[in-house]
Chain A
């Protein structure tokens, strides 16, 4: 960096804005289904006796 760290960096700002725009989206149902499947596997493993 030739300038101080506090200098405004338009490219980084735009990249961060792109990131936040996607990261703040609600999770589509497909993701929730995968997490439900994982949770079900964990629950099933909790219920079964350890090896």
Chain B
């Protein structure tokens, strides 16, 4: 992977742009790690994906247009990395109806309470297309427009996936009573 860091001589302007790019990348690492962890659920694999995305982003930095949305650009690279990884590793494809059903039966949350660990577990039961929208908007504070740019779909699709994801999450966390939880947030 270090071949992605191979450099040739650059102009002062390019050098200045590289420094800005580097600083933006550093500032974004916590959000990239959070997004990746939420997507795949495994710390080590998530960090590997982020590191790979950083290297790919750096190698492709000349294709980034300064002044445009750097976060969206890097999240797109990371997201592509995630889907490439899950295509190779079917264990990560995640939506397992049997597991979800078991969770619904065995693990209703305490009334009126919602535990972060329950949310983290339930997230991993969701289809990736819903999970990524919840993570981008709910966890990372992306707008509908930004999420649509990252995922490459219409804003209406984002809204639909977000609503379905929230409802599924509420049902997974709270069992059949999840509708009540969903009603609080819909």
A residues whose Cβ falls under 8 Å from a Cβ of B: 1-3, 7-19, 21-25, 27-28, 30-31, 34-35, 37-39, 41-42, 44-46, 48-51
Contacts and interface: CB of A to CB of B under 8 A. Distances in A.
Given A18-B139, A42-B22, A45-B15, A34 B9 contact: no
A42 to B, nearest CB: 6
Nearest to B165: A11
Nearest to A24: B30
Contacts of B125: none
Contacts of A42: 15, 18-19, 22
A34 B54 contact: yes
* Chain B interface, >50% SS class: helix
B60 interface: no
Contact of B120 (A9, A18, A24, A48): A18
B177 interface: no
Contact of A18 (B2, B34, B170): B34
Contact of A12 (B55, B183, B185): B185
B181 interface: yes
Nearest to A16: B139
Interface of B: 2, 5, 7, 9-12, 15, 18-19, 22, 25-26, 29-31, 33-34, 37-38, 47, 50-51, 54-55, 58, 114-116, 119-120, 123, 134-135, 138-141, 166, 169-170, 181, 183-186
8 contacts: A11-B138, A15-B139, A19-B139, A24-B30, A30-B51, A38-B25, A41-B5, A41-B7
Given A42-B18, A50-B9, A23 B31 contact: yes
Contacts of A27: 29
Contact of B7 (A19, A44, A50): A44
Given A14-B119, A31-B47, A50 B34 contact: no
A1 to B, nearest CB: 8
B149 to A, nearest CB: 19
Contact of B186 (A2, A13, A45): A2
A15 B9 contact: no
